[in-house]
Amino acid sequence: MIRADARLRVVLVNYNGGALLERAVRSVLTAQWPGDIDVVVVDNASTDGSLERVETLAGVSVIRRSTNEGFGANNHGFADLVGDELEVDLPEPGVVALINPDAMVRPDTFRLLAAALDDSAKIGAASPLIIFDRSFVELSMSGETLVIDSVVSGSDELASQCHGIDGAERLPGERQPVWLCPAGSTLRVPVASLGDGIVVGVRSGNGRIDGHQVAGPTELALDAAAQRTFRVVQNAGVSVGDRGVGVNRGFARRVDEDLGAPAPLWCGAAVVFHPEYLRAVGGFDPDYFLYYEDVDLGLRGQAQGWSTVHVPAAIVEHRHSDRTTQGTELVEVLQHRNRLLTLVRHGSSMDIATGYARAFATPISLAVSAVRYSDERDERLRLAKWRARAVKEAVAGIPKARAAKAEHRAQRP
């Protein structure tokens, strides 16, 4: 069990986090924690001045990296627990937490999560309820399929932060995602201020958005204040589904909806660890850079008998996709490459064969669909190219993934 006066170390990896980094750090420093809190910001060579906002705050230590090392740079924040040298002079922690720089914790979050840890029962990780930090409105679609290439509220372009429900599909555009919204689908839009309204850019199609007739190309201005708003779940734990896909439990559900059975793994956007978990399992594999490194570490922990507990009363609010925009080449390639490499590390031979076979077929299917759906030809071909690149890089990474699998198996008790 965790002592009531345990020292808490909170690690944040920053890369051009802007004002959100300061928001995150201040939320940590004001947390209701009975012991001392050490905040470690690992900066991946930021150039936007975000680090300067927090480096002089009391209780904050900074570790500067000369290049962008991705999410694996978290390892520098708990290096002393995984056999390496910690670059700042800090006492050994009794609890370790990770949060993303675009997230913020509520005052009691860490206390609730730490109370659930128990090394004697091998409960090594505690997962909060992560919700999006903005309220959402729903836009309903009818008529022909509408191709929406921009969603703006105030000065924010929000297409990358929207969610498609009941058939709305996201494709990569040149600067931000394009949404294909057939009749009966719903587009969920986050809004910072209802007074800003929402402007939807329709590229093509003839239909209705919330009863308003549109025929692209056109822009439709909507009064957000007339919409009913609600909060939405981003993550309530992680499981691994078909073809090795990491599934965020509860993703895009309203906070008052049933989220289903607890998930066995945690999400790296916000998690609390018992130090013995990290000592036993180790740190993140830097080869992932972004995406699935938390799934890999979680599965390694499972293989050693460690478990994760979900604590729904512990709330973390997350901007999500603020720095790594969904629907970009970087995100698409890394998500699908790393999913396939995680299959090699942790899946059965059948899982690996099926996952790779389907991954090889996907670019072909997308290229064929580009011929069939000429209105979205460029987006479908772009996505086909990125998926092909992901498969190519995943195949090239198989030998290293197999070596890592053998190494981690040899380290098991």
Domains of the chain plus CATH, in order, are: 8-133+233-318 (3.90.550.10), 135-226 (no CATH), 329-411 (no CATH)
4 has a pLDDT exceeding 90:
no
48-95 pLDDT per residue, tens: 999 999 999 999 999 999 999 999 999 999 999 999 999 999 999 999
Angle formed by the axes of helices 377-396 and 329-346, nearest 10°:
40
Give the pair of three-digit tokens for residue 295. 């799934």
In this structure, are residues 11 and 71 in contact, taking their beta carbons and an 8 Å threshold? no
127 has a pLDDT exceeding 70:
yes
Per-residue pLDDT averaged across 347-376, rounded?
93
| Amino acid letter for position 225 | A
Q: Which band of pLDDT confidence, cut at 50, 70 and 90, is reported for residue 303?
A: very high
98 has a pLDDT exceeding 80:
yes
Q: How far is CA 359 from CA 244, 362, 368, 395, in A?
A: 11, 5, 15, 11
What pairs with residue 37 in β-bridges? 8
Q: Which band of pLDDT confidence, cut at 50, 70 and 90, is reported for residue 156?
A: confident
In this structure, are residues 308 and 298 in contact, taking their beta carbons and an 8 Å threshold? yes
243 vs 247: which has the higher pLDDT: 247
247-264 pLDDT per residue, tens: 999 998 999 999 989 999
Angle formed by the axes of helices 329-346 and 349-372, nearest 10°:
150
Give buried/exposed letters for 123-147 (b at 16+ CB in 10 A, else e).
bbbbbbbbbbbbbbbbbbbbbbbbb
pTM: 0.93
Per-residue model confidence (pLDDT) at position 374: 85
32 has a pLDDT exceeding 60:
yes
Q: What are phi and psi of 95, to 5 degrees?
A: -145, 145
Q: Lowest-pLDDT range, 103-112, 125-134, 218-227?
A: 218-227
Distance CA 149, CA 167 (A): 16
Per-residue pLDDT averaged across 167-182, rounded?
92
Distance CA 257, CA 123 (A): 27
H or E segment to which residue 349 belongs: helix 349-372
What pairs with residue 41 in β-bridges? 12, 62
H or E segment to which residue 189 belongs: strand 186-191
H or E segment to which residue 341 belongs: helix 329-346
Give the pair of three-digit tokens for residue 273. 């660890």
- Of 144, 106, 109, 64, nearest to 314 (Cα)? 109
DSSP code at position 254: B
Give the pair of three-digit tokens for residue 252. 């895009």
CA 215 to chain centre: 35
Per-residue model confidence (pLDDT) at position 358: 95
Question: Read out DSSP for 37-55?
Answer: EEEEEEEES--SSTGGGTT
In this structure, are residues 201 and 357 in contact, taking their beta carbons and an 8 Å threshold? no
End-to-end Cα separation, the chain, in angstroms: 22
Per-residue pLDDT averaged across 367-394, rounded?
94
- Cβ neighbours of residue 209 under 8 Å, at least 6 residues apart? 139, 140, 141, 146, 200, 202, 220, 222
In this structure, are residues 297 and 273 in contact, taking their beta carbons and an 8 Å threshold? no
Distance CA 248, CA 240 (A): 9
191 has a pLDDT exceeding 60:
yes
Per-residue pLDDT averaged across 3-10, rounded?
89
Q: How far is CA 226 from CA 59, 157, 189, in A?
A: 44, 20, 14
Per-residue model confidence (pLDDT) at position 324: 58
- Of 297, 262, 304, nearest to 122 (Cα)? 304
Bond prior to 107 in cis (omega within 30° of 0):
no
Per-residue model confidence (pLDDT) at position 322: 57
